[in-house]
Amino acid sequence: MIDRLFTAALTFCLLAGGTAAIGSAMMDYDQRAAALRNARPVMVLPTVTVIGKRDPAPAVARSESLEPSAKVIQ
């Protein structure tokens, strides 16, 4: 019987501890995000234009007329 009580108490403590950890992390995240927004300047890089040619797609699908061994296997 003591193992059932211990399991229930342990589960409750883990849930309460996890909730407290997530709550404190959320509060800390708001403060750090505000500090980062005020501390770092935003830099804008120039646009880049890519010029090139695309290779044609290779022929992947084949018909049965091109594969004579397919008729032998069937």
Tens of pLDDT along 52-74?
A: 887 776 766 655 555 556 555 55
pTM: 0.40
pLDDT value of residue 71: 57
pLDDT at 7: 93
Average pLDDT (7-15) is 95
**Model pLDDT for residues 16-47, shown as the tens digit of each residue:** 999 999 988 887 777 777 777 776 677 889 99
Q: What is the 3-state secondary structure (H, E, C) of the chain?
A: CHHHHHHHHHHHHHHHHHHHHHHHHHHHHHHHHHHHHHHCCCCCCCCCCCCCCCCCCCCCCCCCCCCHHHHHHC
pLDDT value, residue 43 = 81
CA distances from 27 to 21, 30, 46 (A): 10, 6, 36
Angle among Cα 10, 25, 8 to the nearest 5 degrees reads 10
